[in-house]
Amino acid sequence: MGITKLETDVVNVAKKIKAGIEDAGEDAVKLAVWVQNNSAEVTALASLAGPQAASVAATGLALTNLAINAVKSAGAAVQPNGLNVTLDQATIASVKALIAAIEKI
Greater confidence, 74 or 24?
Answer: 74
- Taking all residues of the chain, what is their mean pLDDT, rounded to a whole number? 75
Query: Model confidence at 93, in pLDDT bands (50, 70, 90)?
Result: very high
- What mean pLDDT comes out for the span 15-43? 73
62 vs 97: CA distance, rounded Å: 14
Q: pTM for the whole thing?
A: 0.52
Q: What is the pLDDT of residue 1?
A: 45
How much is the pLDDT for 81?
Answer: 74
**Separation between Cα atoms, residue 65 and residue 105, nearest integer Å:** 27
Taking only the tens place, the pLDDT of each residue in 36-58 is: 788 887 777 666 666 677 777 78
Query: Rounded to whole angstroms, what are the CA distances from 18 to 14, 15, 42, 77?
Result: 6, 5, 10, 33
